Amino acid sequence: MNSRGVSAAFLFVGLLGCRSSAGGAPDASGTGGAATGGSAGGAAGAPNAGASGDASAGQGGDAGAVPGDAGIDRAAPDGGADATSEVIGSGCAGPGTLCWGFEEGRLPDGWTPYRNEFTGDLVVDGTRAHRGTYALHAKDFKGGTEGAQGGPKKTIRFTLPSAFGPVLWGRAYVYTTPARAMSHAGFFNARYPRPGASSTAFEALDWYEAATYTGSYMTVWHPPEPPGYPEAVQVSGTSIVLDNWVCLEWEFDGQNGTAPEAAEPRLWLDGVELAWPNTFVYPDGATRPTHEKVADFTVLETGIYLYQGLVTVTNWWIDDLAVGRERIGCE
């Protein structure tokens, strides 16, 4: 990697993968207690983490079911990966690994539009790529009132093959431009049905999230949305990297050995695992949610979804995205 600027702004993370390596033992960091410097879900003192600024949707529900899916470059016909196929995309190796290099010049098959709020577009274009010609581009995001609930959201989602398993590793190369006053901004999540629950609807699923918060990297464990909280939040002491490609990896371990609960999410920046000096539960005073165990992860969501207004036009690019059952690693 080249030298890079570091600043308190927001970055979007995805995943890529072509090789497998074993991961270390999970962190022992806990969650709970009062927030430090406000809540992850909202601006300090603001309501519901997921309340969006327009009437189309909040954090929960089918936020992307907006007529015409304006602002999102629609993917190929709906549907997830073929359950009999364990590898999707060129340059992707390892059983159970799914990868997307976006070299089709459009959204890859199986990815369909979901959230769609405020100004901006989510497209595959050739304006900047980590490798090859194309990347996923969260283009010219802006909207809402700074410091208030409701920000730009453009995402896509993907149905995983059946019996994917309870552990999900991911990697992506991400590039972001500077922006001012960004708070909770999600870029990737993976969801799964609650143990014993009959519903497999998207809004009924528990979920792990990789995100940023007040200029640092963040992870969250959520119950179903709406409302998507109380949420268990981990905020790193590592500032968002700007104006350069970085490799971001994460592990969502819903099995967690013989432990009674699913593990806390883990996140790496250019191969270095991040620590979590700030952990809390949102909203303030809420009881830490039980991290229910995973049988199989079923749905992925990626894109950019900000929960507070963004007044400075900002762009993100995601390339070489992948998920798998084992650690994929950076090149």
Q: Is 5-324 assigned to CATH 3.20.10.10?
A: no
Indicate the average pLDDT of the chain. Answer: 79
pLDDT band of residue 313 (cuts 50, 70, 90) is very high
Rounded CA separation 87/264 (Å): 27
Percentages of the chain per state (helix, strand, coil), in multiples of 5: 0, 40, 60
pTM of the predicted structure, to 2 decimals: 0.76
Summarised one tens digit per residue, pLDDT across range 86-102 is: 445 544 666 779 999 99
130-169 pLDDT, tens digit per residue, is 999 999 999 999 999 988 889 999 999 999 999 999 999 9
Structure tokens at 234: 């981990």
305 or 36: whose pLDDT is higher? 305
> What is the bridge-based pairing of β-strands 112-117 and 167-176?
unpaired
- Residue 14 one-letter amino acid: G
Residue 123 CA to residue 126 CA, distance in Å, equals 10
What whole-number percentage of the chain has pLDDT above 70? 71
